[in-house]
Structure 1
Amino acid sequence: MCFSAEADLIAGVVVGGVGIDALRHVRHKREMALAALPVTFGAHQAIEALTWWGLDGRVPAVLGEAAMWVYLVIAFLLPAVVPVAVMLVERDPKRRRMTAPFIALGLAVTAALLVGLFTGPVTAEVGGRYIAYDVSLTYGGQIVALYVAATCIPMLLSSRRSIVVFGVLNLAAVTVLAWLMATGVISLWCAWAAVTSIVIVIHLRTAENRGPTVRTANGG
């Protein structure tokens, strides 16, 4: 994924369409934040297509730069949104309590990222088969690690199998990407998250979402 503007655009249209289907299957208000993730990821990929075209000179530079900023803002808001979305659909009280600290962590990570975004130099350039974004961050490596924790660990704590699968897929992907091509993590991981967010749609469409909560050994 994310090999070109066209790949981003196709992913955006497909995932966005699937995301609309996810919203159609919302049965409770508490599911809305989770259901909105696929359509958000779809829009995110379409926005990056504009960034590609701006860098390639196929659209005005000002439009490409605006797309870059919107793309990064959405990416940086995810640590604050994902833990909340996961906790809202969690019915096991013990698991909800375990997820709560990651909401605070996500808010802190988002705040740090937005400060870096709006106070430091921000650049984007084509890095082969992805866009390499560079945001000036103090303790950047640590913030990225906390970003991964805030977005992935709450899903791993879920009693919902589909959500756990989504978390495992994304944790595995970001680990591999960070090892192979650190400069492409933002672009490539977001593309992967967009595609794998189809798992969320499956969760909303299946009986699992209506079934009983998985209980812990002590009944919590």
Structure 2
Amino acid sequence: MCFSASASFVGSAGIALVGVATLMQVRTPRTLLFAAIPILFALHQLLEGIVWLGMDGRLTPPWPQLAGQLYVFYAQGLLPVVMPMAIWLLLPSGERRRIVPFLLLGASLSAYNLWFLATLPTDIGQCGHSITYHNPRTREMLVAIVYVIATCGALLASRRRWLVIMGLANLAGLTVVALFRTWAFTSVWCFYAALISIMVYWHFRRERMARHVEEAPQDHHFPAGNGP
């Protein structure tokens, strides 16, 4: 996250509260992965707070380096497949086929990124008020394009209004970050995505409210009649 360790930790705590509230809305196992996204991003921001402590000299190795590696493994290695998988599980079986291309694309990108993150060194540094994560193969333009298609495309292809809105918001965030903060893309984008996770909570909240309306007992009124 931008700014500092304290900002990362405060952001992590706030998003974790949203994550817990989201998980409390879950009623079926197939929606669990999507509902867990805010909690995953909260843990993600916690890791970057630890990286900041190392940058500031307040935490000694190896913990900042380990936190940085875990951070980038999730952001670049797992998220491309986690997002389409979560959408695929969320949708009814009859609607899942339109998510399959994004799921396969995300899985391929995750395998590619994880291989190079594991075999090539990732340079973790500081530029301005942002953390930079630079791996020579995962920062290529084609990788970025496939990343956007896999993570945002699944949301847009869901055809569920609120999920499409979330996909458009994520796409806008990716575009802005790519244009103005290219050197700190992973850090700034993941913080933005963490904030967008609030929309995940609202999705489940709306679903639960709709269920309550459907399940609420209906009042039956019988026409008044003459007594016996």
TM-score, scaled relative to structure 1: 0.90
User: Distance between the aligned counterparts of 2:9 and 2:162, measured in 1?
Assistant: 26
Residues 92 and 159, structure 1, Cα contact 8 Å, conserved in 2: no
1:186 correspondence with 2:186? yes
Write out aligned runs for 1:87-102 (5 A): 87-91=88-92, 93=94, 95-102=95-102
Task: Give the root-mean-square deviation of aligned CA atoms.
Answer: 1.7
Write out aligned runs for 1:186-205 (5 A): 186-205=186-205
Residues 15 and 42, structure 1, Cα contact 8 Å, conserved in 2: yes
Which SS does the other structure have where 2:92 is aligned? coil
Partner residue of 1:105? 105
* Post-superposition CA distance 1:109-163 (Å, at most 9, x none): 0111111111112111111121011012078210111011111110011132221
How many residues align? The count is: 210
Partner residue of 2:65? 65
C-alpha displacement of 1:61: 2.5
Relative distance call for 1:78 and 1:186 in structure 2 (3 A) is: same
User: Distance between the aligned counterparts of 1:137 and 1:128, measured in 2?
Assistant: 23
* Post-superposition CA distance 1:174-201 (Å, at most 9, x none): 1111111211110000000001101000
Relative distance call for 1:138 and 1:33 in structure 2 (3 A) is: closer
Partner residue of 1:28? 28
* Post-superposition CA distance 1:45-100 (Å, at most 9, x none): 0110001111221101211001001101111201111101111112373x421111
Relative distance call for 1:20 and 1:167 in structure 2 (3 A) is: same
**What code does the residue aligned with 1:43 have?**
L
Structure 1 stretches of 4+ moved >3 Å: 207-211
User: Distance between the aligned counterparts of 1:10 and 1:33, measured in 2?
Assistant: 24
Partner residue of 2:47? 47
User: Distance between the aligned counterparts of 2:106 and 2:175, measured in 1?
Assistant: 19
Partner residue of 2:82? 81
**Identical aligned residues as a percent:** 36
Write out aligned runs for 1:1-16 (5 A): 2-16=2-16
User: Distance between the aligned counterparts of 1:77 and 1:102, measured in 2?
Assistant: 14
Which SS does the other structure have where 1:133 is aligned? strand
TM-score, scaled relative to structure 2: 0.87
Relative distance call for 1:139 and 1:122 in structure 2 (3 A) is: closer
**What code does the residue aligned with 1:69 have?**
Q
Relative distance call for 1:209 and 1:156 in structure 2 (3 A) is: farther
Residues 87 and 155, structure 2, Cα contact 8 Å, conserved in 1: yes
Residues 25 and 208, structure 2, Cα contact 8 Å, conserved in 1: no
Which consecutive unaligned segments of at least 5 residues does structure 2 have?
A: 212-228
Residues 122 and 133, structure 1, Cα contact 8 Å, conserved in 2: yes
Partner residue of 1:215? none
User: Distance between the aligned counterparts of 1:68 and 1:176, measured in 2?
Assistant: 24
Which SS does the other structure have where 1:197 is aligned? helix
**What code does the residue aligned with 1:81 have?**
V
| Structure of larger gyration radius | 2
Residues 26 and 204, structure 2, Cα contact 8 Å, conserved in 1: yes
